[in-house]
Amino acid sequence: MKNRIFKLDSFQFGEGAISGYIACLLAILSFLGVLAFHFPQYLTTPELRVNYDTDFLRQLMFVSLIMSGSLGLLNFVRNKNKRLGAVAWLFVIASISLGGHQIEVEAYESSVLYLGLDWFILDLLGSTLVFIFIEKLLPHHKNQAVLRPEWKGDLNHFFVNHLAVGFVLLLANQFVHKAFGWAIFTEVQSFINAMPYLLKLFTIILVADIFQYTAHRFYHEIPLFWRFHAVHHSAKNMDWLAGSRQHILELIVTRCLVLTPIFVLGFSKELLDAYVIIVGLQAVFNHANVQVKFGWLKYLIVTPQFHHWHHSSDKAAIDRNYAAHFSFLDYLLGTAVLKQEEWPEEYGVVGDYVPIGMLKQQVFPFRVSKKE
């Protein structure tokens, strides 16, 4: 129980800590945005790049730099610890020295390999604004702080996983096309494409979840795979950022498995984009520290309560609730936790043997010899 209760003394209004953290966030994101402007072919995602309004992004960066500089100054004035304000101003100065919001983007050729720096910036900014607000509005653990223990390691996971999006998608696409090109049938793809849009959307999510469910069971029930998946389960506090704690090899393997049926069945890019948005939002929401009543829907779709039980160290929850989207899969296959009216008391792996920190957690699977 003690892992879930934290003091909020460092976040009292008027002390400067809140302004310092916001200043650092905006300054760092602005600096990363400047780098993305300088090297768009290597640091931005092609699918996002074509939809940018450059003038709007420049204005947004300008406002962010002004706000981060002002809030960093406020941190200097109101907080005895000046470190946050200093870090914010360091990134503000670096951003301005590199051109700030006035950088001109010259013509360039797209690169096959790229880092999803723009995806990281947009997702982090959107997630912090939306999900932190939801967690404070509808919290399950009311005393859980925004910056709970081990948040820095999970933020590093978030950063690495988003930067690697181009590399992961390239590997996944190469794997799927080379290994399963023989399984493509034009008749099947034509049948899929003739479906009504909502039925196709339901089908792509269901097919992906069936493969996700299968892979998830393998991760839990095969000791070799559990070494990697234990990293994800080592989070002892659940919030919107906890779901980002994932080993990079698990991320690659899972993406390959889930993309396989999507490619073979011939779902369009528009449907794939819609699926990516849904899976991203649902994954973050189901890890979040929120308590929302879904009524009978909880027997059909995965909810935060359902997925929190999957992360519980309670004996009744071990190797249960595998589905990522549709909870009825677990009920049909007999792997659902039955006491869904309650919430788990503790999270994490039994024995708490996974090290703390992103780098140590990436190395961890290669140092253990068995499921502990």
Token pair, residue 41, equals: 């072919």
Token pair, residue 101, equals: 């919001």
Give the pLDDT score at 307.
Answer: 96
Share of the chain above pLDDT 70, in %: 93
Whether 108 contacts 44, CB under 8 Å: no
290-314: pLDDT as tens digits: 999 898 999 999 999 999 999 999 9
Model pTM score: 0.84
- The closest alpha carbon to 131, from 244, 28, 225, belongs to 244
Mean pLDDT of 76-93: 84
- Dist. CA 75–CA 21, nearest whole Å: 9
Element (H, E) at 41: helix 40-43
Whether 139 contacts 185, CB under 8 Å: no
Whether 365 contacts 228, CB under 8 Å: yes
- Dist. CA 195–CA 185, nearest whole Å: 16
Task: Classify residue 91 as exposed, middle or buried by CB count within 10 Å of its CB (0-12, 13-18, 19+).
Answer: buried
| Phi–psi pair at 194, nearest 5 degrees | -80, -10
222: left (phi over 0), alpha (psi -120 to 50) or beta: beta
